[in-house]
Amino acid sequence: MSGTQFTLQKDDWSLHRKGQQDQQRHNEKVKQAIKENLGDLISDESIVMSDGRQIVKIPIRSLEEYRIRYNFNKGKHAGTGDGDTQVGDVIAQGKPDAQGTGKGPGKGQGAGDAPGLDYSEANVTLEDIESILFSELELPNLAPKQPDRVTVDDIDYKDVRKTGLMGNIDKKRTLIESIRRNQLNATGRVQILPDDLRFKTWEDVRKPDSCAVVLAMMDTSGSMGLFEKYCARTFFFWMTRFLRTKYETVQIRYIAHHTEAKEVTEEYFFTKGESGGTICSSAYDLALRLIEREYPSSQYNLYPIHFSDGDNLTSDNEKCVKYVTQLCELSQMFGYAEVNQYNRSSTLMNAYSKYHHPNFRNFVIREKSAVYSALRHFFSQRAGEVKPA
């Protein structure tokens, strides 16, 4: 037997995929950083005031390759210590300093002597924030209302044919046809021939859609300071983008009020300020008249949402509760948000604290980052999913 030589070779493609894997890890870190900082990001003034065209930077942990890392403090290494280590000790940084002497990774009163964590900044666009924020939001209790009134264009796959585009191939039906033919021919093997190919075909159809109307009401009286107006406008800014992104047939009507209420344009609602006293029932009365005149509850899903600081005329509170009851009966959800930075007692919240209705939701905002929680509280199926701060 002649001496035959064999050569065994194995191609390792892991290095070729390393760039893609690092990019995927980086994208996951960015998404995680957005989730962890979402409350601060959506209340970032540079985003709200720039009409959503701003790119912001968020810190993310630097990505390091797996390696053996010794104690940077040049302490004793593994196998040379005195045996006092415990399970869970971080050997790369030494034990944290519990006395606050400054000998820790950036902790204590003095300058620390231990290394910190490396961070880098990643550019985040409005679309990155929206994709994560809007995935958590939805209009609650959305119901079909007169489906013949509102329709949307859609694509419906209704038929399967032997010819078509390769991008629309029906893999399951193609494989079934191939198995059926091979069984009839008793070949014992599966072979896909051009005659086995099956393609999905579609038709352009118009489907009924449930239309929704959001009545955005904001207190513009003199008691609404810069912080209160900023929180209210930030909420309505993200609400408007969310509704127009996820729903095709939603309508938004803007109502501003002090002692009197009036319907305003979107630009006026987000930029103009007024003064004077506060009679919140004027906004509810205007909302009821709009519903009666243009949006009957049998044909529309209604969502009145009111922002105020709670400083309402005391004699007006009883009328507010009466109007809110009427709005709750007509609407899928009525939301009242109060911007109360200093945890003071407000007349309007005192009136609503004793009010209960399945369609009524209220929320208190004490800091800018709570706008995120308010969005989740109002735009979720169950009001109890997010508790007021």
Residue 199 DSSP SS3? strand
Going by C-alpha positions, the residue among 39, 130, 135, 137 that lies closest to residue 333 is 137
**Chain segment 65-86, per-residue pLDDT in tens:** 555 555 555 555 555 555 566 6
- The answer to whether 220 and 274 are in contact (CB under 8 A) is yes
Q: What is the pLDDT of residue 198?
A: 85
Cα distance between residue 275 and residue 259, in whole Å: 9
Torsion of CA 266, 303, 378, 261, to 10 degrees: 50
Cα distance between residue 216 and residue 213, in whole Å: 10
Higher pLDDT, 101 or 184: 184
**Chain segment 199-241, per-residue pLDDT in tens:** 887 766 555 556 899 999 999 998 899 999 999 999 999 999 9
Alpha helices, DSSP H only, in 146-219? 171-185
Q: What is the pTM of this model?
A: 0.66
Measured at the CA of 228, the angle between CA 224 and CA 233, to 5 degrees, comes to: 110
- The answer to whether 362 and 123 are in contact (CB under 8 A) is no
Residues 6+ away with beta carbon under 8 Å from 45: 230
Torsion of CA 74, 75, 79, 81, to 10 degrees: 170
Mean pLDDT, the chain, rounded, equals 78
**Chain segment 331-384, per-residue pLDDT in tens:** 999 999 999 999 888 999 999 988 999 999 999 999 999 999 999 999 998 765
Cα distance between residue 174 and residue 164, in whole Å: 13
**Cα end-to-end distance, the chain, whole Å:** 85
